[in-house]
Structure 1
C-alpha cells in the first residue's frame, strides 16, 4: 500500500528521470543526434515485471533510449523487497533503481559463452552500477532512503547469487535492513504499516491511520482533438 497518490508518483518518477536517468543515458550515446522517449503508465503492467522496460540503440547518426515505466511494476518491486508500505522516500529510491538497473543492463549484455551465467552476471553488474550511481550522485536525505537502497542492493545480490562489498553474511544484512525499515515505519506510520503488512498484495492509497482512500482514475478533464 502507499501513502502517495498516483499523481505524486508520476511527478516523482518524471523528476528523477529528468534529473538523473536522462543525463546518464545521453552520456552513453555515441550518435550525433540523441533521442529520449519516456512513457509513464499509471495503470497496468508489462508482463508482470519488476524493472522498467528499456531499449537502447546506438548508431553513427542517431542514438535512441526508450523507457516505459509502469507504476504497478515499481510497486511490485517494493513487494518483492518486503517494502509493504510505500512512502515518498521509499518510492523515490525504488523508482530510480527500477529505471537505472535496466539502463545499465544494456552495458553488460554478453551472451557469447553461457546464457545462464551471462544473464546472472548482467543482472549483478547492473545492480552494482545502479547502487553505486545512486550513492555517488543522488542526495539520500533520510535514513529511510539509505535503508531502502541497502535492501535493494542485498535483494539483487541474493537474486543473482553474486556478492560484493564488505558484508560477508548477505542474508543477515538483508534481514537487518528490512528490520530497520520496519522499525521506521512502525515509529512514524504504525497504523498504515500494520494495514499494509496485513494486505500485502494491495497497492491502493491509504492515510497514515490505515484507512483506504479512493482515487479517481482521471482528473475528469477532456482533451479536444483539433
Structure 2
C-alpha cells in the first residue's frame, strides 16, 4: 500500500488533506490545531505512541476514503470557507457557551465540596468562555472582513494589517487550545466519577463536544484559511 503520509508529514497538512485523520488524532490525543505545524514524528514521540502502527492505520483510512466524496476547504473560495466557519463553528460557540455555563456552575455548587477539582473546571471554563466570545467578535467584525478585502484586492496597504491580524488570532487560538487541554487533563479525559449525577455527566459530555468542535474550528483557520491568505500576501 502506498504510504501517503509519513512521520515527517506536518500534522496540520495531514488533516487538511484528509479531514478524517482528525478523529484518529483526537483518539490518540494528538493536537492537530494549535500543534498543526509540527511533524507527526514529534507528536508520536511526545505521546509515546507506536509510530509504525499509527501510520499504518492512518494510511489505510486514507486509502479507503479515496472513493468517497468529501469537502475540500483547501480549494473552496475563501468567502465560502469564512461563511462555513461563521455559520457552523461561531454559531455553535455563541449558542453553546452561554447554555453550558449555568450547568458548570450548578455542578460546582452541588458537588464541589466532594470534588474540589470542579472549582478549577469552573474557573477555566469561564475564562475560556470570555476569551472565545471576545475572539469571535474580533474575527467577525475585524479580521475576517480584512482578510476577504485583501483576498479581493491584495494591496500593500492591507498586507501588514492582514499579517498582524493573523499573528494575533493564532496566538489567541493557542491560548484557547491550552485552556481546553487543561480542562481535559483535570477532568481525566472528561470521565465523570462513578457516582456522578445526570447533570455532572451532561457537563462532561458537552465539554468533550466543545473540545471536538473547537479543535476542528481552529484547524480550519490555522491550517487552511490563514496559510491561504498568507500565501496571497507573499505572492
Task: Identify the TM-score tier after normalising by the shorter chain.
Answer: under 0.3
Q: Which has the higher contact order (CA 8 A, sep 6+)?
A: 2
Of Structure 1 and Structure 2, which has the larger fraction of its residues in strand?
1
More helix by share: 2
Larger radius of gyration: 2
State the TM-score, normalizing by the size of structure 2: 0.25
TM-score by length of 1: 0.26
